């Protein structure tokens, strides 16, 4: 927002920026005409000289995150497929190290899968309950994600569910939230608790009437919907940036940080792109979407699926 204010104080920059705000708002509703798009692209190119707006980043979970992301994508209004770069500031190295050496580092370790036969996901839930902030914010999202929208409708208010999930993940320390999300399991009962942690029937599964299930949406449609929402679009870009796989890296991650990959993965929870475990007996994760009916865009659709189901960085 500092970069935005600096631009607005310069008459030449302000006029171009206001035009781009209009362009971004119109593009979010429906595709621009060819003439309007050309005018917007010219404005976008003209703003290249204002360096602060080109390099500014946002803070995850900050009070004005939504506005900051709006500024970030306004400058890039036409780049709906730009997912290689994260709009978020890089975490300081010491913060990353703190995450790496926390309990999160041992969550996925094989040696911690069984501790005297204890259900590790149940233990994680109990630990969360003993920490007031974790317990209260977890109760908050469980209520939001299970409350009926109306007395006659079994479906939930997904917007409220997603907001409460994001609050939980942004405000609870990783040693508690990650322990709930990534607790190791050796039996289906434990796996069921882990899969239901984020209340899947509300957070991403579709219900028509009552408990009648609707088929999964196409992954390309899901991404298209996500790209029209600044927060979802940003979290998805952050995930791809930090979970980019590499077969040459010991961690499996191009950026060599499994901690940052898991943090970016959890950033997707509470958006339309919310991922989850495939079943109660698997550690595989996926999006709630399918590639059926993708036609000649099948390869692009499968790429989205493989970001979760066939990603060596995320798996490791």
Q: What is the pLDDT of residues 73-83, one digit of tens each?
A: 998 877 655 66
Q: Which helix (H) or strand (E) holds 287?
A: strand 285-287
Q: What pLDDT is recorded for position 1?
A: 77
Residues in a beta bridge with 286: 276
Question: 3-class DSSP state for residue 40?
Answer: helix
In whole angstroms, give the CA distance from residue 260 to residue 182: 14
Q: Report CA torsion sign: 16, 17, 22, 24.
A: positive
Q: What pLDDT is recorded for position 113?
A: 46
Q: What pLDDT is recorded for position 246?
A: 87
Scored b (16 or more CB within 10 A) or e, 122-151 reads: eebbebbeeeeebbebbebbbebbeeeeee
Q: What is the pLDDT of residues 128-156, one digit of tens each?
A: 999 999 999 999 999 999 987 666 666 78
In whole angstroms, give the CA distance from residue 267 to residue 260: 10
Q: What pLDDT is recorded for position 24?
A: 85
pLDDT mean for each 10 residues of the chain (316 residues)? 91 92 82 88 89 91 91 80 78 56 48 60 92 95 86 78 95 92 88 91 68 74 90 94 88 83 94 92 89 91 92 88
In whole angstroms, give the CA distance from residue 48 to residue 46: 5
The pTM (predicted TM-score) of the whole model is 0.87
């Amino acid at each position: 927002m500092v970069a935005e204010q600096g631009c607005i104080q310069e008459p030449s920059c302000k006029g171009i920026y206001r035009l781009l705000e209009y362009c971004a708002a119109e593009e979010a509703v429906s595709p621009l005409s060819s003439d309007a798009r050309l005018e917007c692209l010219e404005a976008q190119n003209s703003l290249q000289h204002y360096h602060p707006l080109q390099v500014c980043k946002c803070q995850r979970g900050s009070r004005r995150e939504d506005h900051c992301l709006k500024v970030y994508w306004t400058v890039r209004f036409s780049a709906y497929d730009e997912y290689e770069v994260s709009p978020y500031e890089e975490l300081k190295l010491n913060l990353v190290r703190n995450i790496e050496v926390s309990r999160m580092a041992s969550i996925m370790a094989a040696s911690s899968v069984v501790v005297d036969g204890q259900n590790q996901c149940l233990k994680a839930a109990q630990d969360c309950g003993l920490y007031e902030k974790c317990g209260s914010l977890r109760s908050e999202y469980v209520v939001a994600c299970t409350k009926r929208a109306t007395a006659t409708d079994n479906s939930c208010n997904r917007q409220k569910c997603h907001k409460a999930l994001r609050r939980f993940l942004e405000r609870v320390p990783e040693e508690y939230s990650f322990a709930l999300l990534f607790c190791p399991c050796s039996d289906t009962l434990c796996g069921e608790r882990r899969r239901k942690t984020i209340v899947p029937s509300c957070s991403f599964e579709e219900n028509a009437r009552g408990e009648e299930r609707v088929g999964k949406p196409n992954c390309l449609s899901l991404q298209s919907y996500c790209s029209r929402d600044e927060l979802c679009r940003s979290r998805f870009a952050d995930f791809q940036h930090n979970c980019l796989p590499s077969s040459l890296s010991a961690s499996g991650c191009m950026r060599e940080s499994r901690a940052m990959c898991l943090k970016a993965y959890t950033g997707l929870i509470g958006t339309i792109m919310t991922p989850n475990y495939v079943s109660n007996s698997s550690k595989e994760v996926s999006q709630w979407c399918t590639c059926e009916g993708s036609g000649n865009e099948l390869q692009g659709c499968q790429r989205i699926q493989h970001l979760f189901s066939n990603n060596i960085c995320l798996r490791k």
